[in-house]
Structure 1
């Protein structure tokens, strides 16, 4: 159809970013300790002692930014093309958007003492 453009790639890119986030998050969780006394040391350990740990950490950090860029662009495409008229699909997407934002807030911003470690 004539309305299919490069904007339609962002749904697939969201899936790729989500898989990247899950995989890098699992690898980081294998070496991270959430204790307030050793959390910074474990991040340093990941960057210095784990093979390609610094790459995994930067992929996870930058992947989150790319994920949200793709997410907002995907929503913008839906607004531009009037996808909000499909109420059931649109409402599920809004629920997923709010759940994603709440998960990011609860996991990366809210924990006490961890904000400076994750750059939030």
Structure 2
């Protein structure tokens, strides 16, 4: 994909993809290693089928994070992970009042993924990455 190539070609976008991917890889760990704690949080957030959604969120973060680290399927990964972060921000942060990470990390990751996709799209149009202004 052209977007993936633009991310791999640009040093700034490469770093953003790797850092965001690693954060998601770390964030997925409690979904599997502290399942009960995460499930309780999802119950507090009033999400439907919280036990199932914990596993879904963990798998999405694991696969999406790994793909971002590898700089592969960047656009679909960012879209799915952005939806996950939007749910975390709205359900966990705005509605349930969970400040950390729902009101801090979730919007920051959402912005980083938008920056990544916009920068890569800009790079594909110009034949370069984000840093070429």
Normalising to structure 2: TM-score of the pair? 0.43
Instruction: Compare CA radii of gyration and give the structure with the larger one.
Output: 1
Structure ranking higher on relative contact order (CA contacts 8 Å, 6+ apart): 2
Normalising to structure 1: TM-score of the pair? 0.47
